[in-house]
Amino acid sequence: MNHQLPHSTATTGTLAPLEPGTVTLVGGGPGDPGLLTVAGLRALEQADVVLVDHLAPQDSLASCRPNCEQVWVGKLPRGEFVPQERINELLVEHAQAGRRVVRFKGGDNFVFGRGGEEWQACAEAGIAVRIIPGVTSSVAAPALAGIPVTHRSMVQGFTVVSGHVPPGDPRSQLDWAALASTRTTLVVLMGVKYLPQIVAELQTHGMDPATPVAVVAKAGHPDMRQVRGSLADIAELAQQVTPPAVTVIGEVAGLVWG
């Protein structure tokens, strides 16, 4: 597959009516239906078919029309799994059948959401695509836990990485030594499984073991929880945390309000 994204994206505004035979990529935010954008909600209301995964705000699907077809295409850890290639095929198939297709995901489609791959597959098939960005969990999850990823007197930036493969894995493309010395807030998505290896690697490359760390799980859901500690002890403290979770590493993770 050509890695250059073709230029066939629909250019109409995000609130314009959906057209038959098109695909709209909607980011649903971290899980709270209130954090779905107005444009995202409008797209759901018009859809003929919605391809949805488990991290999208499920309550928002109540806004779909009664005859809207809802197709589950999630990737549950150690559970049900729909390959990305099949998701791409379904988007194209439904659009070619003249339907108004919405791909509904959690967070933002373009932040580790494979939105670029889905856009590319549709565009190569001649399908017009509209992008409706979502509130990314990399920022929203810390915010919901009272953690600003930047703070004028503490840190001047933040770095977002994926932790779905551990340091040292041949598939890893990350420079952990550079991340350990970046002096920005480090936000790790999909890193719960390999949190022990991640924090150990950062310490190996010189990050202070006393650096504050917070793990925010199920942000935006009623059962949201957070675990706070330091680089030295967070792996032990967060042993019982399960995905979805976002890990925040840096001084801002130590802020406590009130």
Mention every residue, 6+ apart, whose C-beta is less than 8 A from residue 249.
185, 186, 187, 188, 199, 202, 207, 211, 212, 213, 231
* Exposed e or buried b per residue across 8-41, where buried means at least 16 C-beta atoms within 10 angstroms of its C-beta: eebeeebeeebeebbbbbbbbbbbbbebbbebbb
Residue 217 one-letter amino acid = A
> Please, are residues 62 and 152 in contact by the beta-carbon 8 Å criterion?
no
Residue type, 14: T
CB 8, CB 95: distance < 8 Å: no
In the chain, the DSSP E strands lie at 22-27, 49-52, 69-72, 100-105, 129-132, 158-162, 185-189, 212-217, 225-230, 245-249
CA angle 208, 210, 212 (to 5 degrees): 105
pLDDT digits (tens, 9 = 90+) for 184-214: 999 999 999 999 999 999 999 999 999 999 9
Q: What residue type is 49 in one-letter code? A: V
> If you search the block for the tokens 């952990």, which residue do you land on?
176
Contact of 168 with 204, CB cutoff 8 Å: no
Distance between alpha carbon 145 and the CA centroid of its chain, in Å? 17
For the chain, 258 residues long, the average pLDDT of each consecutive 10-residue run is 53 85 97 96 98 94 97 76 94 98 97 95 97 97 97 95 96 97 96 97 98 96 95 97 96 90
Domains along the chain?
22-132 (3.40.1010.10), 137-254 (3.30.950.10)
Helix H or strand E encompassing 119: helix 115-124
Catalytic machinery residues: 53, 75
> What is the model's pTM?
0.92
pLDDT at 10 (0 to 100): 54
> Residue 224 corresponds to which tokens in the numbers above?
């949201």
Predicted confidence (pLDDT) per residue in 135-154, tens digit: 999 999 999 999 999 999 89
